[in-house]
Amino acid sequence: MIMNTKEITTASPIDKLLDRLGNSKSSGNGRWRAACPVHQDEKSKGRTLSVRETETGSVLIHCHAGCPADAVLTQLGLSFADIMPPEYHELVENATYGKEDRGWKDIGSSKELIEQHSLCAGCPESIAFRYILASLPAPEDTVFVGSTGCTSLVFPHVAVHNIHSLFGNQNAIASGLKRSLKARFPDTQKDVVVLAGDGATVDIGLDMTMQSWFRQEMFTTICFDNELYANTGGQESGLMQKGFVAKMAPKGKAFDKVRLLEIAREAGVAYAVMLTVSKPNRVEEAIQNAVYIAREVGPTFVQLYTPCILEIGKQSMEGLDEMKDSEKMGERFAARSYITDEAQVVIDRLKADKKERKLAAKRFKKEMAVA
């Protein structure tokens, strides 16, 4: 019989659980054993339920007899939300999950999906992460696939499901993940977004990147292009500009920057765009277009210039100026895109729908003012 539900108070998650378990016994620092309420009573000698409090304040439970965690919580009159820390509840209540027109303008007025990181001070990648996370159409139904590099320092701080892959195989992992999610959740749109640096995307991972495009895998690939291997000392990458001298490339790049946008186009990508992250509205548009097109048409690709200010000899506050200089007309990061006819249909529909929602909101506001 399910226990009577008590009033959920401000008690910590572990206290809520232990209070309802009753006859629990400490088995170490932050660990307990108890009788499983699904198949045992409190007087049972064998305690098959393991309980652990994590460093973040959330609670892990496991029945060694095989009872599902949700069944254990239901028997106690609890839910998974009840054993999550306050930070989780703050995200649920104050972030923009489920908001139809979420975007970069929500930054500063709502709970962000990233609030700290391990990148260098002033790193443009941190700016890119904030804009991307604010622009995802459905972060609650999105899974990131990352790879070794500076980006991997950020994913532990992101409030979106993510997987860390081996260096370069992120698109292979994403291919299997996207297909599995479609089979597991046939009635729910699940978005997969690859986010990796230029080393993982082009040099080490180009084979798997292109093969996912050849197969027309339905997910978005985002490349953080800082034009070198930044987190390992400044080695030369295929996307480094010709002639650039780095700490571990003292003779300078001998050949031109790999034309990745053109490779994406010729490999069958439906929507390929290159830009910097100096203008949040453009980043939002690119990310949302890419995700929506990947849902309906085919693979999409976004190449973002996120310069490593340390490796190019800039100060922490000069990253924005570097990006603005690099996106000027005729420069290597002047905004460019390749869009198939099928992808353009999706973009036109998105613009029309967004315009209609704005008009509807204005009409509603006007009607409320009159009332």
**Looking at beta carbons, which pairs linking 10-15 to residues 24 or more positions away fall under 8 Å?**
12/57, 13/53, 13/57, 13/58, 13/59, 13/82, 13/83, 13/84, 13/85, 14/51, 14/53, 14/57, 14/59, 14/83
Q: Are residues 338 and 236 in the same domain?
A: yes
Whether the per-residue pLDDT at 78 is higher than 90: the answer is: yes
Q: Is 207 helix (H, G, I), strand (E, B) or coil?
A: helix
**Average pLDDT across the chain, whole number:** 91
Co-location of 255 and 273 in the same domain: yes
Q: Please name every residue paired with 300 in a beta bridge, in sequence order, or none if there are none.
A: 220, 271
Asked if the structure places residue 359 within a domain, the reply is: no
Query: Do 143 and 43 reside in the same domain of the chain?
Result: no
Indicate whether 174 belongs to any domain.
yes
pLDDT higher than 60, residue 113: yes
Query: Is 8 a member of any domain?
Result: no
Q: How many structural domains comprise the chain? A: 2
User: Tens digits of per-residue pLDDT, 5-15?
Assistant: 344 446 889 99
pTM for the full model? 0.85
- Which helix H or strand E contains 336, and what residues bound it? strand 336-339
Q: Are residues 340 and 291 in the same domain?
A: yes
225 & 303 share domain: yes
- Could you tell me if 170 and 285 lie in one domain? yes
**In the chain, pLDDT over 90 holds for what percent of residues?**
65
| pLDDT for residue 28 | 92
Tens digit of each residue's pLDDT (9 = 90 or more) over 269-293: 999 999 999 999 999 999 999 999 9
Structural domain including 20 reads 13-87
Q: What span, in angstroms and rounded, lies between the C-alpha atoms of 55 and 73?
A: 21
Determine, yes or no, domain membership for 282.
Answer: yes
R_g of the chain, CA atoms, integer Å: 24
pLDDT, tens digit (0-9, with 9 covering 90-100), for 309-318: 888 888 888 9
The pLDDT, as a whole number, for residue 217 is 98
Q: Domain check: are 154 and 276 in the same one?
A: yes
Same domain, 123 and 54: no
Q: Tell me, yes or no, whether 369 lies in a domain.
A: no
Are 79 and 111 found together in one domain? no
Q: Is 137 helix (H, G, I), strand (E, B) or coil?
A: coil
Alpha-carbon gap, residue 133 to 122, rounded angstroms: 18
Domain shared by 139 and 108, yes or no? yes
pLDDT band of 42, cuts 50, 70, 90: low
